[in-house]
Chain A
Amino acid sequence: MKKRRKHHILFLVLICLICLFGCSRTRIIDKISIIHVFGFDQAENGELIGTALFPDYTMSKDGDQIQKLEEQAPTSILFVPKMSEYTSTPIELAKVRVLLLGRNFAEAGIQDMVRRLILNPQIGTHIQIAGSTHSAGETLTKFQKEKSLTLAERLQQNMQGQYLPYMTLHDFLNDFYGEGVDAYVPMVTIDEKDRVKIDGIGIFKGDKLKLHLNPDQTTLFSYIEDKRTQATYKMVLDDKNRGEIVTVRAFHSKSKWDWDQKKERINLRLQLQMTLTQYPDRFDLKKEQVVMEMKKLIEEKLEKDLGNLLGTLKENGVDPLGIGNIVRSKDRTWEKAAFYEQYPTLPISVNVDLKILHSGLEG
């Protein structure tokens, strides 16, 4: 009898469990609209414009039937309910792979969007965030015409093999909320032939987009920031002669920062391992002496260009490299306001230590 009662209790508990948790709404895979790319823009009247791209896989296996939804709302949390008015299946944000910020929107400040939408637990942080030199809506329309959803891949492969520094939403949020460091995002642009391409990075100050670095500056930036970058850098030795070009491709880089508290200056020691992919014919690299000469030439050039880049960053008062954070880690008395007041005039000396791995083979 006692045993039977025990069974009854177990059975009741099971029933309760099923009723309590078993009623969660199902999200059957072919009965939802899975958003792949989400773009944000600023409307004329200060409201937000959200643009979403989602493929209709029920029509085609390859996902070339791309639907676009564009919706204006006063706050980002209202996009999903408003967009749902147009779709036959519920909209799911959980598989967003790229968040695209339009230029106007990014310059006006993204604080609200980050707080309300990105911190939503549905959205993963291993996704891409990017800025657009045009409006996000415009860029996404181009993608819809291209019938491809490859923006995420386009960003990723440029981070792995080309000049973009490695960045995901996770890193972005870390920088965005981190002290003594400013966030940056890869930028995309629409070229003259109406195609979407990667175009450097955009650097935020606070929650507003402040500075846009061009590809060359981004390459130098990657050398400092990303230790596995494989960016190619071009140096022109003589403006008049086309043969006087040196190109190097990075293989491994290591940056060491030193804070000299007495003199209040920073030393950056950059150890680079590079491949010499192109050099003028007058250099005969079989001779060790010439190699040393070449090495010195490149080091000097890099030091100069890096100094210019740091100068640009200081001028604009942005700190995407996290110099403030580096100083903070070595100086107990660090204060944010005081540091950034003297940041534009902070002396930074760059010292490049180059190691040429091999030359000529890679094109």
Chain B
Amino acid sequence: MFRKKRVRRRSVKGYETTEKTIGEVFEKAKKSSDFTTVTPLEKYPSLVISFYETLIDSKVFFQSVLPSLKEKASELKELSALKNIIPIEKIKITTDHTEVEKGLYDGAIVIYFEDKKEEYALLNIADHRLGQRETNDTQNEFSVIGPKVGFIEDLSTNLHLIRDHLSTSDLIFEEVTVGSRERTKVVLAYLDGVTNPDYVNTAKQRLKELDIDVTTDNTQLEQLITDDSTTPFPLYITTERVDRVVNAIVTGQVVLISDKSSYAVIGPATLMDFFSNPEDFYLPSIIASFFKLIRIFGMLFSIFATSFYVAILTFHFEVIPKDLLGPIIFSRANVPFPPVIEVLFLEVTIDLLREAGARLPTKIGQTLGIVGGIVIGQATVEAALTSNILLIIVALAALSSFTTPIYKMSNAVRLLRYPFILFAAIWGGLGIYVGLLFLIAHLARLKSFGAPFFAPLYPYRRGGVAVSFIRPTLTKYNKRPWYLRPLSLKRYSPVKDKDPEEGLNSE
């Protein structure tokens, strides 16, 4: 169940159809209705422009490319002259047909002479933002204070957001193309001189050797390059918050950003990273630590609350205080099922509600909350299908699973309950500990870009444990976590204040 499987990768690439000649490239493209070929100049009918209408910025095409072509048509004898005619930087003259094909898909127009089919001029006037959303508020990782800027489904915008935030020449963007059919651009972002090159190389190697036709999102890509594809735990942090990504880069982690995806992937990640939130750094350290502890408690409560309910009510009634016996037994008196069925019934109901709520449009979703929360909850108790007390416990457990900031981790936490409930139903308290052993053993085996996932708790790393549970004051939190092996450890060195001892207000 918890065994590790290595994903085998083939070295042979290429299921895509490869065009042999330039003629075939154009012939194939002409099958699509959005591929257009025009001859703009009557005097030179041999001058042809070909492009995909759906990819280019038509404004640029009609307002600057065509007018300047027509104005200075007389100067156009060779393709190299285009650079003087058209006021666009990205002009490239090539003879390679694969480059032409790639250029077409990237949103370039191809200019060439019908009678001289050796040379092609590629003018990149792609419109990246066409069809993209305008707003980039964080949708799923909300914070009350702090910036609310999130990524959108456009690579260049996302890169702009990061570069704008972190304007240093140490910030390196390395581009890798992934997908034999789609050719998605994936950018590896890291801080030169800080990030351990091993992580960068591992990530690059995995991406380069990845054989996949189409990846629809970065979160899918993350699963393809993950260290263990059978675990329910996410091994990398997926985030849409710019500040989180910037912070990760500065601490020496590698960030993957891919085109058409609004999520960035951060690795190597450790388990406790998933319970911290950018907002922790905007709040005072005591308050942030308290909320971080609350989140960790919420995770534990969410996993274990219902399984302990099952174990105690089925096997260990001794541990219930005397005054609680009455309410628990009384509320369960009319329930015909054993505790485990009762619990599974409610847990599945809650997950059904959550799943339905996630798929429904927002406006209907609100009604669902009322129907699910109040009507179903009350009705099941009235109908003696579950007990009142269980309803409270399950609702609290569901609530506390939502406190985990990273959605993928909160899903993993939600799933983990079910094996624990079953263990508790079979072996009671012993079963929970057996399950816990399996869980800890599994966590200890996980790796993220080759770095231990459960660090600094296991393998124990000095100085990292406290930071995993609380957020120290910023004056003390001036070093990168050394167990992630950054090349430089110190981030900043705080200086002592130079205030007079009795304070500035003394008379």
Query: Chain A interface (Cβ within 8 Å of chain B)?
Result: 6-7, 10, 18, 21-22, 24, 26-30, 32, 34, 36, 55, 57-63, 92, 94-95, 97, 124, 149, 152
Contact = CB atoms under 8 A, between A and B. Distances in A.
Interface in B264-316: 312-315
B322 A22 contact: no
Contact of A34 (B313, B325, B327, B430): B325
Contacts of B315: 24, 26-27
Contact of B318 (A10, A24, A94, A152): A94
B426 interface: yes
A7 B3 contact: yes
A6 B314 CA distance: 33
Nearest to A55: B326
A6 B332 CA distance: 43
A94 B313 CA distance: 14
A5 to B, nearest CB: 13
B330 interface: yes
B427 interface: yes
23 contacts: A21-B430, A22-B426, A22-B427, A26-B314, A26-B315, A27-B314, A28-B313, A28-B314, A28-B339, A29-B312, A29-B332, A30-B329, A30-B332, A30-B333, A30-B335, A34-B317, A36-B322, A57-B333, A58-B329, A58-B333, A63-B325, A95-B318, A95-B325
A95 B317 CA distance: 8
B465 to A, nearest CB: 32
A135 B327 CA distance: 32
A124 B322 CA distance: 14
B328 interface: yes
B317 A57 contact: no
Interface centre among B317, B320, B427 (most CB of A within 10 A): B317
B178 to A, nearest CB: 29
Interface centre among B1, B318, B338, B428 (most CB of A within 10 A): B318
A124 B330 contact: no
Contacts of B314: 26-29
B438 to A, nearest CB: 10
A124 B326 contact: no
A149 B314 CA distance: 24
A94 B317 contact: yes
A97 B314 CA distance: 21
A32 B317 contact: yes
Ordered nearest first, which 3 A-B pairs have the shortest CB separation?
A: A57-B329, A58-B333, A61-B330
A89 B322 CA distance: 19
B327 A61 contact: yes
Contacts of A124: 318
A63 B323 CA distance: 9
A60 B330 contact: yes
Contacts of B313: 28-29
Given A94-B317, A94-B318, A95-B318, 16 more contacts: A7-B3, A10-B3, A24-B315, A26-B338, A29-B312, A29-B313, A29-B320, A30-B329, A30-B333, A57-B329, A57-B330, A61-B330, A63-B325, A63-B326, A92-B317, A124-B318
Contacts of A28: 313-314, 338-339
Contacts of B427: 21-22, 24
B328 A29 contact: yes
Contacts of A34: 317, 325
A92 B312 CA distance: 15
Contacts of A30: 329, 332-333, 335
A161 B326 CA distance: 27
A218 B333 CA distance: 45
B426 A18 contact: yes
B306 to A, nearest CB: 15
A28 B277 CA distance: 41
A28 B336 CA distance: 12
A95 B426 CA distance: 22
Contacts of B312: 29
B404 to A, nearest CB: 29
B333 A29 contact: no
A95 B335 CA distance: 23
A94 B374 CA distance: 38
B165 to A, nearest CB: 46
B307 to A, nearest CB: 15
Interface string B375-386: 000000000000
Nearest to B323: A63
A29 B317 contact: yes
Contacts of B318: 94-95, 124
Nearest to A61: B330
B344 to A, nearest CB: 15
Interface string B1-44: 10100000000000000000000000000000000000000000
Interface centre among A26, A29, A58, A124 (most CB of B within 10 A): A29
A64 to B, nearest CB: 9
A58 B334 CA distance: 8
A36 B430 CA distance: 26
Contacts of A22: 426-427
Nearest to B325: A57
Contacts of A32: 317
Nearest to B337: A28
Given A7-B3, A21-B427, A29-B332, A61 B317 contact: no
A18 B322 CA distance: 32
A20 to B, nearest CB: 10
A60 B338 CA distance: 20
Interface in B168-206: none
Contacts of A26: 314-315, 338
Given A21-B427, A26-B314, A95-B318, A61 B326 contact: yes
B431 to A, nearest CB: 8
Contacts of A7: 3
Contacts of A27: 314-315, 317
A241 to B, nearest CB: 48
Interface centre among B314, B322, B327, B333 (most CB of A within 10 A): B322
Nearest to B5: A3
